[in-house]
A and B are shown apart, each in its own frame.
Chain A
């Protein structure tokens, strides 16, 4: 499984756009990129997944360059409730993304 690297922590203010970048230099052809959010003392929650270019849903956008060696999760206009840990994972689409290996995650702190 490809290893991911992301910043340990980030700080932001309410209303700002937050971009969290994840490196996955050894990503394989069949791998997809998935982001999860985790609040303290809760299980992770799926945010978004993509293979290449750009994916957008009601919560976030995911930007993936052509070489797919990195990806950026974009959270528009964050609020205090977006304070959480965000995990970038790379999983094999051929296995149904079953086995997830979590990296260190990025601890996002949103201040008023």
Chain B
């Protein structure tokens, strides 16, 4: 099946610094990718829709200037958490669909655990 990777899998950063998380579709093209955030024992919360070659669409309540999304190619989307604070510590997950296949299945990455100290 299709594979989505994320890098890094874990990251610890100091408060006030920025962290970039990469999401890659390894064997398929994805014009659209999605970014989710998940707090411990909670459900996934959709943060934004990442569109290749255009601006991302953010969900209500998600600060676009804090969570910068770039989707520069059909296989890569990045999420940059700017000026991170301890409350940004969470599990970040991306997902994608194969743009060339009429499929309903979304493929999720393994997630990135961010800890801000």
User: Interface residues, chain A, CB within 8 Å of chain B?
Assistant: 32, 34, 41-46, 49, 87, 91, 93, 96-105
Shortest distance from the beta carbon of B41 to any chain A beta carbon, whole Å: 8
Q: How many residues of B contact A (CB 8 A)?
A: 23
Chain B residues with CB under 8 A of A41 = 91, 111, 113
Closest chain B residue, CB of each to CB of A43: B108
Return the contact of A46 from the options B36, B43, B105, B110 (Cβ within 8 A): B105
Contact yes or no, A101 B106, CB < 8 A? no
Contact yes or no, A97 B44, CB < 8 A? no
Return the contact of B110 from the options A42, A96, A101 (Cβ within 8 A): A42
Closest chain A residue, CB of each to CB of B113: A41
Q: A41-B113, A45-B108 are in contact. Are A96 and B97 (CB under 8 A)?
A: yes
Q: Is B13 an interface residue (CB 8 A)?
A: no
8 A-B residue pairs with CB within 8 Å: A42-B110, A42-B111, A43-B93, A44-B108, A45-B108, A46-B106, A102-B43, A102-B46
Please measure, in the bound complex, the distance between the C-alpha atom of A99 and the C-alpha atom of B45, giving whole angstroms: 11
Please measure, in the bound complex, the distance between the C-alpha atom of A103 and the C-alpha atom of B43, giving whole angstroms: 6
Contacts A96-B97, A99-B34 known; 16 new A-B pairs at CB < 8 A: A34-B104, A43-B95, A43-B111, A44-B44, A45-B108, A46-B107, A49-B104, A93-B104, A97-B106, A98-B49, A100-B95, A102-B44, A102-B45, A102-B46, A103-B43, A105-B43
Shortest distance from the beta carbon of B84 to any chain A beta carbon, whole Å: 20
Q: Is B25 an interface residue (CB 8 A)?
A: no
Please measure, in the bound complex, the distance between the C-alpha atom of A49 and the C-alpha atom of B36, giving whole angstroms: 21
Please measure, in the bound complex, the distance between the C-alpha atom of A101 and the C-alpha atom of B4, giving whole angstroms: 19
Q: Is B32 an interface residue (CB 8 A)?
A: yes
Chain A residues with CB under 8 A of B97 = 96-98
Contact yes or no, B113 A100, CB < 8 A? no
Shortest distance from the beta carbon of A14 to any chain B beta carbon, whole Å: 24
Q: A41-B91, A41-B113 are in contact. Are A97 and B43 (CB under 8 A)?
A: no
Chain B residues with CB under 8 A of A101 = 46
Return the contact of B106 from the options A93, A100, A104 (Cβ within 8 A): A100
